[in-house]
Every structure is written in C-alpha cells, then in structure tokens.
Amino acid sequence: MHISTNIWTWVAVLLTFGIFSFLWKDNPFYKFCEHLFVGISVGYTIALTWYNSVYPDLVTPLFREGKPLYIIPFVLGLCYFCRFIPKVSWLIRVPMGFVLGWASGVAIPAYFQTNIIKQIQGSLLTPAIFARWDIFLWALISFIGVVCSVLYFFFSREHKGALRLASETGIVFLMIGFGASFGYTVMARMSLLIGRFQFLLRDWLGVIK
C-alpha cells in the first residue's frame, strides 16, 4: 500500500470524488467540478482545434504558402463570427448552407450504398439457406423479423388485419433487439465504474497492480 505522492494524482482523485458527490446530492463541490469541467473541455477544444485544424489546414496554406484559393473557406469560416454582431448575424447561414449542402450531398449516396442496398442484399434469402436445418430456420426467422419490424414503422395505414399482425410480430423483434442492447449497456456502465475504482486503487492507493 503506497499512496501516490504526485500532487496531480491527488487533484484527479479530488475531482473524481467531486463528481461522485452528485450521487449524494447536488452540492457546491459538485457544482465546482461541473463548471470546471465545462470550462476546461471548451478550452481544450479551442487549443486542439487551433493546432490540429485551423493552423495546418488554413494558416499554413493561406498565409505561409500564399495559396489564394483558401481565402474562400477562410471568409466562410469568419462568417460564423457575425453571429455576435446583431446587424449581420444572418451571415452565419452562409457557411452553414455550404457545410449542410456538402454534407447532405455526400451523405445521400453513401447512405443508399451502405445502409440500404448492402442491407437489402443481406436480407435476401438465397439457395444457400437449404444447407442445414438450423441455417434455414434462422434465415427464415430473420427474414420475417426484418419484414415485420419494417412494417411496424409503416405510418400510411391504420394497423388493422394483416398489417396489425405483422406490426405486433415486429414489436416482438424490436423489443428483443432493445433487450439485447440493454444487456450490453449494463455491461458498459459497470466497466466504467470498475475503471474508476481501478484508478483509485492502483494509481492513488497503490493497493492493486
């Protein structure tokens, strides 16, 4: 048992207990940590954005290598500053339009390719399912599951008759799917707590390896 002598480890421990104190109740120690967290995280983003994005991608090509074309993204980027000048605050819509247009134009074909066509191909039953009884059964169940679950999200007709049966089968698959995610999430949360305790026991108290 050899407690850490590093001042900054103690700071980290104090901040850890500061956040954990929220479990007891919302208190000044927690509020301090919460607001400190907000400030540091934004400050950190500013520093990294400058060194990793703005400086190498804009300052170097435009001001150091003098490539004139980079004026355009520079001006578009500056428009975001107008947000705080009431008279011209509408100007932030220009860079937003540029980014949103570009992102939507790139996303649409990519979505079709990866989330629709490829997934349809995965849903198709092929003669390969006749290989073994269990492959056949699981492929059939998956097929019914996909069709019924999609029908659950069909909004153009009241769910009556066959559509009602399909949508009720669909919700069963959906709930099993959410149950699976729930199970994995419990594991995720516990791992995070275990991680914090490992920090306290190892880096702070030196009780475990």
Partner 1 sequence: MSFFEKLLKIDRKVIFIVIAVLVLFPLLKPLGLGVSSGPRAKAVFDAVDAIPPGKTLLISVDFDPASMPELYPMLVALMRHCFAKNVKVLLCGLWITGAGLADRAVTEIPPEYGKKYGEDVVYLGWKAGVDAVILGMGENIKNVFPVDYYGHPLDSLPMMQEVTRLRDIPFMVAISAGTPGFADWLLYAQSRYGMRVGAGVTAVSAADAYPYLQSGQLTGLLAGMKGAAEYEVLVQKNGYSRAYMPAVAAMDSQSLAHIVIMVLVIIGNVAFFATRRIRR
Partner 2 sequence: MISIILGVLFAGMSAPLIQVRDTPNDAGKSITLNWQFLSESPASAVVVQRVEKDGEPVVVASLPGSERWFVDEGVIDRQPYRYRVGAVSDGDTLWSEWSEVVSSSPQFFNWARLNILVSMVVFFVLVIYFIENARAGRYLFVRRIAGLDAVEEAVGRATEMGKPIVYVPGLGSVADIATIASLNILGEVAKKTAQYDSALLVPNRDPIVYTVAREVVKEAYTRAGRPDAFKPDNIFFVTSEQFAYAAAVDGLMVREKPATNFFLGTFWAEALILAETGATTGAIQIAGTDSVFQLPFFITACDYTLIGEELYAASAYLSREPLLLGSLKGQDYGKMLIIIIVVFGSLLLLLSRIPQLGFFSKIINFFNVS
Partner 3 sequence: MRRSLPLALCLVMGIIMMIQFFVPHPVSVAFYDLTTKWIRIVSAFALVLGVGSLVLYHTDRLRRKRAGWEYSIVTLAGLVVTAIIGLGWGVKPGSPLQEVLFKNMLVPLNASMFAILAFYMASAAYRAFRARTKEAVLLLIAAFVVMLGMVPVGEAIWHKLPEFAEWILSVPNMAAKRAILFGVALGAIATSLKVILGIERGWLGGGKG
Interacting residue with partner 1 among 6, 27, 89, 198 (CB under 8 A): 198
Q: Whole-number minimum distance, CB 48 to partner 1, in Å?
A: 5
Residues 154, 168 contacting (CB under 8 angstroms): no
Q: What are the φ/ψ torsions at residue 205 (nearest 5 degrees)?
A: -85, -20
d(CA 46, CA 49): 5
Is 185 a binding residue for partner 1 by CB under 8 A? The answer is yes
d(CA 203, CA 10): 10
Q: Whole-number minimum distance, CB 29 to partner 1, in Å?
A: 17
Q: What are the φ/ψ torsions at residue 196 (nearest 5 degrees)?
A: -65, -40
167 binds, among partner 3, partner 1, partner 2, none (CB under 5 to 8 A by kind): none
Residues 82, 88 contacting (CB under 8 angstroms): yes
Closer to partner 1 by CB, 27 or 114: give it: 114
133 binds, among partner 3, partner 2, partner 1, none (CB under 5 to 8 A by kind): none
Which among 130, 125, 131, 128 has a CA at the least distance from the CA of 145? 125
In the block, which residue shows the tokens 């107008």? 82
Dihedral sign for Cα 101, 103, 105, 111, please. negative
Pick the piece of the chain touching partner 2 (CB under 8 A) from 5-13, 59-67, 70-78, 147-155: 147-155
Is 44 a binding residue for partner 3 by CB under 8 A? The answer is yes
Q: Whole-number minimum distance, CB 164 to partner 1, in Å?
A: 26
Count residues contacting partner 3 (CB under 8 A)?
A: 114
Interacting residue with partner 1 among 83, 93, 118, 164 (CB under 8 A): 118
Which among 108, 119, 109 has a CA at the least distance from the CA of 143? 119
Q: Pattern 138-177, binding to partner 1, x per CB under 8 A?
A: ----x----------------------------------x
Is 195 a binding residue for partner 1 by CB under 8 A? The answer is yes
Is 190 a binding residue for partner 1 by CB under 8 A? The answer is yes
Q: Letter for the amino acid at 26?
A: D
